[in-house]
Each structure stands twice: as structure tokens, then as C-alpha cells.
Amino acid sequence: MTETLDQETYKKYKRTAQIINGAGGTPFPISDTLISILKHIVPDEEDLAFIKFFKRKTSQTMEQLKESSNLPEDEILRNIKKLAKIGLIFNQPNRHGLMVCRLMPFVDVGVFEYTFMGALENNEENRELARLFQKLVSDVKGKLKQDYDVMLRFLKDRPAVDRTIPFTENKTTGAEIEIVVEESLDIPEEKILPVQKVEELVEKFDDIAVGHCFCRHQHDLLGDPCKQTDIRENCFTFGKSARFTAEQGFTRLISKKEALDIIRRSDEDGLVHKAYHPHFDTTKDETSLCICCNCCCGQAGSETFNVNATHYIAQVDQEACTGCGTCVENCHTGTMHLNDDNIADIGDLCIGCGVCAHFCPEQAILLKESDRIVRFTPPRPE
């Protein structure tokens, strides 16, 4: 698509992409693929021009936008409304009731998530956008592998992108999964732990919205449907994020009962609960909950650079384990394996999701409290 742009127009899109990269999330190198994505979602150059007013400050009130843009309020509102519809502007009141307009990134959490969270028609235009995002991520992963040592240093200091909320029930018996709390676990008294049960998370919010899993939706458009589940509509947003996504048509508001029904059906397919917090800060209220498979999820698989927070790790009762391998088959990260004695063994990449304990027919797996960070890297290139 970028071949059709004249040099001046290309420069405009390039400058705008640089501004969007500054909005947070995952920054991407400016490439023809990134420019093509931006041209796809913002074909009108007049809409493109408004984004430049967020260059110096990515979150602004109406008064600040009037000052930075020198535009009348009605024109600002028209632009904000159009850009919110494509997921580039988040327009919701803050805790003081003051409307704040925030520029969103391409990914984590931004245009990609909001776009594919909606019910997109399976047409060539949307398939092309899915392909462009796939190429964008693939190109970046290739670059990261080339700069492997640099990426390892970057991951060492990076906060967790997502936080696991574990399964708490055994599928075979319906009994609660045993959770061992270590009294010696060193957690400062002033630290407020986020909710540890998905039911508590649902009860915590009055506004809950559900949309399509953006990863599985993208894979459907790519002609590579999920191999683990047929469920599509199980990506949740909460609070003002729920109000925003519902207002823009990315999701629909639902009751707590419907949310729990969707979650329970997802549990039966062995999907994993991952919560997200503002600016990756787990001391703040959750904004969303992804329920992830192990084949489409952008944060899963052996080719992933990712950082996960968890408060648990699986633990095997070696006396009760029969070596059936059910846990190995269902492990989300592929870290569970059978050792030389044909007993289930926990690897280094356990994120405490509890899927293994959920499916274990012998109830031989429990969750042990373990406040930790798990860092994922693909194999070092040869």
C-alpha cells in the first residue's frame, strides 16, 4: 500500500507513526508495514493531521487540546469521536470526572486489540489488516533474535506485561484445588495484593464488557483457526475500559452472571486467565482479562519474548502422580514434563495458571504461593 503514497504523504504517515509509538505499549520500528497499517486505519489525511497535537503530551483534557491545537471545541470533538472509533484515542473521564483524551499505541493495548476485539466481517480488507499486523510482529521478532543479547538485557528490567489468575477447581471432581500458602513468604505489609480468583475479579466491577479474543479473531482472518477452543467472545474489559470499548462498538456490556458463564466454559477448554493493569502496575485495578489459548496467543509459545507476573507455582504430589501425562498435554507454556521416573515435573516456565491441576484426574497437583516474575525468551539463535 505504501507504494501508492507520494514522498510527502509518506513523510506525514511516518511522522504520525512516530508520535503513536510514543503513546506507550510496544514501540515498532518505522517500516513500510507499519505505514501500511496506519494508512489502512486512517486513510483520511485530515484525521491524520489531528494526531500531531498529541506529540508533546499523549494525554490531554479538552482545555489542553484547545491550547495545543488552536481548534474550536466542536471540531476537536468530531476528531476525537472519529479516532476513538478506530481505537486510536481513549476518551473517558478520570477519577475526578474530568474528560481526558489519551493517544493509544499500535499494540499493548491499542489499535490491534481494539480492532480485532470487534466483530469484523471476513472480507479482503480485514484479512489484509490481519496479514499486516502478522508481518509487523514477525519482522520485529526476527529483529529481536538478531539482537538477542540486547533483548535479554531489556527483559531483565521490564515489568510484567500480564498477570496470571489461576484456575481454582479440579475438573474431574469439582473440588477446590489445594492452595498452599507459605507463612514465610516475604510480602511487605503495606503491599495490597491484587485479586487472586477470577470470580473475585468479576465481582469487583459494576461495568463488564466482553468482545472477541483479538488473537483468535486475527488467526481466523488469516485462515489459521484456533486448535484449542471454538470460543471466540471471551476477552473482557472492566470499569472505564468496559465503558469505552462498548461505546465504540468493540465489545458489549454484560452481567456478572454471563461473564462467569463464559469464563467457566473457557475453563473447560483449558484456557488461561491473564489480567492486565494500567502501565503494567499490578497495584492498580485491572483493566482487562484475556482468556488465552496456547496456539494463537501473542504471549505464548516458544518464539515469545514476554514477562509474566504470578503469585503461584504448580507443585506435584509424587506419591499420587500416576504419570498419565494429562498435565503435560494441557500445559500452557510447555514447561510441564515427565521425568525419568515417569512422574510429572515442573519446569522453569510455570506461570501458576492451574490448568494442570484443573485437569489432573488424581488431584496430584496443587498450587503453591510464589510471588515471582517469569521471563520468556525463545531459544538463543545458533
Share of the chain above pLDDT 70, in %: 95
Distance between CA 330 and CA 339 in Å, rounded? 17
| Upstream peptide bond of 109 is cis (omega within 30 degrees of 0) | yes
In the prediction, which pLDDT does 1 show?
A: 46
Averaged pLDDT for residues 41-68: 94
The average pLDDT across 55-81 equals 96
Model confidence at 229: pLDDT above 90: yes
> Mean of the pLDDT values across residues 235-260?
97
CA 372, CA 232: separation in Å to the nearest integer? Answer: 30
What is the predicted pLDDT for the residue at 53? 96
What are 103's strand-pairing partners? 89
Report how far residue 162's alpha carbon sits from residue 273's, in angstroms, rounded to the nearest whole number: 10
CA angle 275, 266, 278 (to 5 degrees): 10
Q: Which one-letter DSSP state was computed for residue 294?
A: S
> Is 180 within 8 Å of 208 (Cβ atoms)?
no
- Cα 337 to chain center, whole Å? 27
Least confident stretch, 8-22, 147-161, 196-210, 260-274: 147-161
- Residues 379, 376: Cα–Cα separation, whole Å: 10
How far apart CA 236 and CA 167 sit, in angstroms, is 17
**pLDDT category of residue 186 using cuts at 50, 70 and 90:** low
What percentage of the chain carries pLDDT values higher than 90?
Answer: 73
Nearest-CA neighbor of 212 among 239, 238, 231, 240?
A: 231
72-99 pLDDT per residue, tens: 999 999 999 999 999 999 999 988 889 9
C-alpha cell at 155: 527483559
CA distance 84 to 247: 9
The DSSP element (H or E) to which 212 belongs, if any, is: none
- Kindly list the domain boundaries of the chain, sorted by start residue: 2-146, 150-376
DSSP string over 18-41? HHHHTTSS------HHHHHHHHHH
Write out pLDDT tens, residues 103-113.
Answer: 999 998 899 99
Give pLDDT, residue 303. 65
Q: Which amino acid is at 158?
A: R
Answer yes or no: are the C-beta atoms of 114 and 85 closer than 8 Å.
no
Top pLDDT among 156 and 164 is at: 164
- Is pLDDT of 364 > 90? yes
Q: Name, of 136-145, 169-178, 248-257, the range with top average pLDDT.
A: 248-257
From the number of C-beta atoms within 10 Å of its C-beta (0-12, 13-18, 19+), residue 189 rates as exposed
- pLDDT tens per residue, range 126-151: 999 999 999 998 888 888 778 888 88
pLDDT of residue 187 exceeding 70, the answer is no
CATH of the domain spanning 2-146, picked from 3.40.50.1970, 3.40.1280.10, 1.10.10.10, 3.40.50.720: 1.10.10.10
Residue 272 forms beta bridges with which residues?
292
| Locus of grid cell 471466540 | 232
**pTM (global) more than 0.85:** yes
